[in-house]
């Protein structure tokens, strides 16, 4: 288990234990954290699981695969710390990760 | 009024195969889809990506799968209503009346919702004032390019649509292309062409910029764009175009009284009927314990939903289970000559 903190747009903070091997997107869906749609189910094909990663975590995350940046072009208000949460696999290294969920996914 | 046994909403693989199953058991159907072509997510999201888990098909692309399904339902001469979204639903005695966005009406015995994760709509600018100009000087698709002649157009996006239109419109208009990063997702040849046009002064390329605001009274006059480092530029613009791909919206189906949970419709697993008699849901849009969002699951769901429709379409007849290998009736419906 790793602790992942999701800050939702209504200024609420949700810290949950997410099983290692699941994605940050799945952690949100399983814990009913609002604001992540994940329409395509984790296939890097829709950009509706877009999150902003807290700056200090940016360099600790696995690099973006081909295609993630292309999908982020489609996301709602992408920024430099934007990631698709379906591409972030929870591991010991990500214990304590904090992400902000945007006001909308599209 | 189009009278048919079943209306299928959604022309993705699940909807197409359900049409096949309806045809095999002797029911007629018509299909409505919001996109301009059949195939659903397979065509819109990943036409060139290989799929490896269609039973007995080791590898095929979304486009190949769609084409094969269309070939498979060809004998049934199914009528498609593309670029149409279902809007209204009314119960009329034992039948349903459905109306689409363009006013096409259907009189059907049953409805199968195979709507994926909803209908595809263009993604819009996050900037709120954009709504005010939408349809007069701000567009997410182009219907008549002649209006842009000799005007100044600001195009936002980095995919093929943005690049293709920037190249095309630069012939007769002053084009600004604005994109949030240096890299583009469009094909390399178009990216090169855009860069060339920029160097020749035939197009202005602004990278690492995003929209900040739009200014104007009735029509857009200027757009403000913001660099990732904070610098703001004001550029004159008669028109603004946004190409950020498509997003799926559940739309009017939400108001039909169906049991909906997290953008999916709850169904039973016996025949994939919803809480409303005569309305079925299959594919990605349905949910039940153990649901897998796989195309193969959608095929199974469609086969059972088709049989579930039978009692509404032909209440006085009994449906017998038959195999296509041996059933004369099924083979006749498929147009097989022996």
Task: Tell me which chain B residue has its CA closest to the CA of residue A70.
Answer: B185
Question: What helix, strand, coil percent values describe chain A, rounded to 5?
Answer: 25, 25, 55
| pLDDT beyond 90 at B108 | yes
A40 to B179: CB separation less than 8 angstroms, yes or no: no
Chain A: nearest CA to B295, how far in angstroms? 13
Token output for B154: 């600001």
Residues of B within 8 A of A30 (CB-CB) are: none
pLDDT at res. B262? 77
Domain A2-100 has CATH 3.10.20.30: yes
**Whole-number Å distance between alpha carbons of B250 and B248:** 7
**Whole-number Å distance between alpha carbons of B74 and B76:** 5
Q: Give me the total of CB pairs closer than 8 Å, taking one residue from chain A and one from chain B.
A: 52
B123 to A76: CB separation less than 8 angstroms, yes or no: yes
Q: Is A69 in CB contact (< 8 Å) with chain B?
A: yes
Q: Which of B44, B183, B227, B244 to mutate to test the interface with A (most CBs of A within 10 A)?
A: B244
| pLDDT beyond 80 at B338 | no
pLDDT at res. B254? 86
CB B268 within 8 A of CB B184: no
CATH topology for B124-244 is FAD/NAD(P)-binding domain (3.50.50)
Residues above pLDDT 90, as percent of chain B? 88
A39 to B248: CB separation less than 8 angstroms, yes or no: yes
| CA B9 remoteness from chain centre | 11
Q: Which residue has the tokens 């799968």?
A: B65
Q: Is A105 in CB contact (< 8 Å) with chain B?
A: yes
The average pLDDT across B138-155 equals: 94
Average pLDDT, rounded, for chain B: 95
Pick the range with the lowest mean pLDDT from B185-194, B254-263, B274-283: B254-263
Residues of A within 8 A of B294 (CB-CB) are: none
pLDDT at res. B44? 83
Q: What is the pLDDT of residues A65-106, one digit of tens each?
A: 888 999 999 999 999 999 999 999 999 999 999 999 999 887
B179 to A73: CB separation less than 8 angstroms, yes or no: yes
**pLDDT level of residue B56 (50, 70, 90 thresholds):** very high
Q: How far is CA B315 from CA B27, B281, B319, in A?
A: 12, 20, 10
pLDDT at res. B129? 92
ipTM of the complex in this document: 0.81
Output B173-177 pairs: Cβ under 8 A, ≥24 positions apart: B173/B148, B173/B149, B174/B204, B175/B203, B175/B204, B176/B152, B176/B203, B176/B204, B176/B205, B176/B206, B176/B235, B176/B237, B177/B203, B177/B204, B177/B205, B177/B206
**Whole-number Å distance between alpha carbons of B226 and B233:** 6
Pick the range with the lowest mean pLDDT from A42-56, B39-53, B85-99: B39-53
Q: Which residue has the tokens 């953008």?
A: B263
The average pLDDT across B13-41 equals: 96
Domain assignments of chain B as residue spans, ordered by start = 2-121+247-333, 124-244
A76 to B126: CB separation less than 8 angstroms, yes or no: yes
B157 to A73: CB separation less than 8 angstroms, yes or no: yes
A41 to B293: CB separation less than 8 angstroms, yes or no: yes
CB B262 within 8 A of CB B94: no
Answer CATH for B2-121+247-333 from 3.40.50.2300, 3.40.190.10, 3.40.109.10, 3.50.50.60 = 3.50.50.60
**pLDDT level of residue B287 (50, 70, 90 thresholds):** very high
| pLDDT beyond 80 at B35 | yes
Question: What are the DSSP calls for B246-310, one per residue?
Answer: EEEE-GGGGGS---EETTEEE--TTT-B-SSTTEEE-GGGEE-TT----HHHHHHHHHHHHHHHH
For chain A, helix (H) and strand (E) counts, in that order, are 2, 5
**Whole-number Å distance between alpha carbons of B334 and A17:** 54
- Say whether B124-244 and B2-121+247-333 share the same fold: yes
Q: Which residue has the tokens 């189009």?
A: B2
Considering only the beta carbons, identify the residue of A70, A76, A104 that sits closest to B185: A70
| pLDDT beyond 90 at B136 | yes
A46 to B247: CB separation less than 8 angstroms, yes or no: yes
CB B134 within 8 A of CB B111: no
pLDDT at res. B263? 81
A46 to B183: CB separation less than 8 angstroms, yes or no: no
**pLDDT level of residue A50 (50, 70, 90 thresholds):** very high
| CA B148 remoteness from chain centre | 27
Buried b or exposed e, range B279-292, using 16+ CB within 10 angstroms: bbbbbbbbbeeeee
Q: Is A44 in CB contact (< 8 Å) with chain B?
A: no
Which residues lie closer than 8 Å to A91 by C-beta, 6 or more apart?
A: A2, A20, A21
Considering only the beta carbons, identify the residue of B45, B123, B228 that sits closest to A45: B45
Residues of B within 8 A of A106 (CB-CB) are: 123, 247
pLDDT at res. A41? 82
């Amino acid at each position: 288990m790793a602790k992942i903190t999701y800050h939702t747009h209504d200024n609420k903070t949700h810290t949950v234990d997410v099983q290692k091997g699941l994605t940050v997107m799945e952690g949100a869906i399983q814990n009913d954290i609002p604001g992540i749609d994940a329409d395509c189910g984790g296939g890097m094909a829709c950009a509706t699981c877009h999150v902003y990663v807290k700056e200090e975590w940016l360099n600790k995350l696995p690099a973006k695969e081909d295609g993630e940046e292309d999908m982020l072009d489609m996301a709602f208000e992408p920024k430099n710390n934007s990631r698709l949460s379906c591409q972030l696999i929870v591991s010991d290294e990500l214990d304590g990760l904090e992400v902000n969920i945007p006001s909308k996914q599209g | 009024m189009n009278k048919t046994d079943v209306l299928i909403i959604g022309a993705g693989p699940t909807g197409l195969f359900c049409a096949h199953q309806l045809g095999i058991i002797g029911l007629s159907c018509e299909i409505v889809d919001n996109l301009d072509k059949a195939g659903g997510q397979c065509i819109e999201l990943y036409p060139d990506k290989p799929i490896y888990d269609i039973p007995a098909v080791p590898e095929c692309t979304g486009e190949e799968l769609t084409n094969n399904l269309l070939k498979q339902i060809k004998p049934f001469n199914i009528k498609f209503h593309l670029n149409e979204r279902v809007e209204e639903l009314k119960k009329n005695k034992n039948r349903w009346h459905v109306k689409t966005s363009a006013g096409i009406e259907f009189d059907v015995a049953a409805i199968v919702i195979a709507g994926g994760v909803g209908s595809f709509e263009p993604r819009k600018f996050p900037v709120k004032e954009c709504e005010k100009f939408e349809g007069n000087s701000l567009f997410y698709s182009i219907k008549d390019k002649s209006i842009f002649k000799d005007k100044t157009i600001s195009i936002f996006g980095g995919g093929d649509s943005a690049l293709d239109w920037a190249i095309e419109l630069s012939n007769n208009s002053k084009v600004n292309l604005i994109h949030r990063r240096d890299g583009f997702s469009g094909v390399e040849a178009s990216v090169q062409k855009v860069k060339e046009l920029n160097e020749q002064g035939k197009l202005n390329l602004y990278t690492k910029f995003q929209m900040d605001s739009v200014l104007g009274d009735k029509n857009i006059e200027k757009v403000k764009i913001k660099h990732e480092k904070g610098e703001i530029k004001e550029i004159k613009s008669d028109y603004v175009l946004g190409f950020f791909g498509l997003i799926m919206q559940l739309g009017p189906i939400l108001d039909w009284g169906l049991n909906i949970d997290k953008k999916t419709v709850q169904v039973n697993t016996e025949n994939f009927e919803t809480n409303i008699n005569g309305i079925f849901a299959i594919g990605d849009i349905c949910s039940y314990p153990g649901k897998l969002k796989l195309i193969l699951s959608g095929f199974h769901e469609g086969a059972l939903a088709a049989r579930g429709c039978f009692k509404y379409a032909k209440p006085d007849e009994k449906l017998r289970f038959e195999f296509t290998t041996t059933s004369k009736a099924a083979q006749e419906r498929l147009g097989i000559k022996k």
